[in-house]
């Protein structure tokens, strides 16, 4: 994990010049030469902090800090990890949807020296409603080496951080098999869509299909079962069992909401929340792992 550190805000503020009450000067003048020298030495020691703080320096990524609107005060996070898809503090959505912020993110995500991959710029196609679509463009390799295609990425800006929704050179909002997460991004970005999602009239079927997608390592199929990618992210961050877990029949939690549980081990259980109706269809709205 790569970590970069920006100077703490306290280090960037010059200390105020020391103040000297009138009584102190009276005592100093009557204290003789030795007292005068000592007093000047003490004053010089205090005054050295004023204006001597190190200048603000940009982090290597160029995307770890941003100025607060109209204040000029850095609002940077002290650290950023390479595993994150985005800076933790990037200011407003408009400020975050710039090459200055997005290029370092794409470089951390795709650069691979061993494979000759180096992203040199980003082409931002559209930014609106908390989503972005862009192309991460690699360098032109020397003659005789393979030339790499640009990588298409759909991103979502959530809680001050960019998250990858979907990526791939062949992605299209008009794909009939586009997942719900991609469809939601396409709709927010005002692209036309043609995908048709199957209506699931039984909450147990919706939950079962999600578990099947998880154990089959098929995140695309899982994305067809929810409009919120958060449960999918949580589910696929856990190792799937090698055998199908035992299903516990869904229970009514509240009108239109069901909990469907699966036994993963003697003291481990997956609970999936499904909501909707028989006519509109059911979809996964949440899940949790527990005892």
Closest CA to 175 of 199, 194, 190: 194
Give all strands (DSSP E) within the chain, no chain letters. Answer: 3-5, 79-81, 119-128, 131-138, 151-158, 161-167, 246-254, 257-265, 268-277, 281-290
Tell me the pTM. 0.46
Rounded CA-CA distance 253/227 in Å is 20
- Strand-pair partners of 247: 262
How many residues make up the chain in this entry? 291
Going residue by residue through the chain, which has 291 residues, state the pLDDT in tens, using 9 for 90 and above.
Answer: 333 333 332 222 333 333 334 443 333 334 343 343 344 344 443 333 333 333 333 333 333 222 233 333 222 222 223 334 444 444 588 899 999 999 999 999 999 988 889 999 999 999 999 999 999 999 998 888 888 889 999 999 988 899 998 888 888 888 877 777 888 889 889 998 876 667 899 999 999 999 999 999 888 788 888 877 788 888 988 999 988 899 999 999 999 999 999 999 988 999 999 999 988 889 999 999 997
Q: Yes or no: say if 247 and 260 are a contact pair by the CB < 8 Å rule.
A: yes
């Amino acid at each position: 994990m790569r970590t970069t550190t920006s100077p703490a805000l306290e280090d960037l503020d010059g200390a105020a010049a020391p103040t000297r009450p009138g009584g102190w000067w009276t005592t100093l003048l009557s204290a003789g030469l030795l007292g005068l020298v000592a007093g000047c030495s003490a004053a010089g020691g205090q005054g050295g902090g004023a204006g001597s703080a190190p200048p603000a320096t940009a982090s290597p990524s160029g995307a770890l800090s941003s100025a607060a609107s109209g204040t000029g005060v850095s609002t940077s996070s002290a650290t950023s990890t390479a595993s994150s898809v985005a800076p933790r503090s990037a200011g407003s959505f408009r400020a975050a949807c710039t090459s200055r912020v997005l290029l370092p993110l794409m470089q951390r995500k795709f650069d691979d020296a061993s494979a000759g991959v180096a992203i040199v710029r980003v082409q931002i196609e559209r930014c609106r409603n908390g989503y972005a679509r862009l192309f991460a463009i690699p360098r032109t390799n020397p003659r005789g080496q393979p030339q790499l295609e640009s990588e298409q990425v759909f991103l979502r800006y959530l809680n001050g951080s960019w998250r990858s929704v979907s990526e791939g050179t062949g992605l299209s909002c008009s794909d009939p098999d586009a997942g719900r997460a991609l469809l939601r991004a396409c709709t927010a970005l005002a692209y036309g869509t043609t995908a048709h999602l199957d209506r699931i009239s039984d909450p147990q079927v919706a939950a079962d299909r999600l578990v099947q997608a998880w154990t089959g390592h098929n995140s695309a199929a899982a994305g067809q079962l929810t409009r919120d990618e958060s449960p999918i992210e949580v589910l696929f961050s856990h190792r799937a069992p090698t055998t199908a877990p035992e299903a516990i029949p869904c229970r009514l939690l509240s009108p239109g909401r069901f909990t469907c549980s699966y036994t993963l081990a003697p003291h481990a259980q997956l609970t999936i929340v499904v909501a909707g109706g028989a006519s509109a269809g059911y979809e996964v709205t949440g899940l949790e792992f527990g005892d």
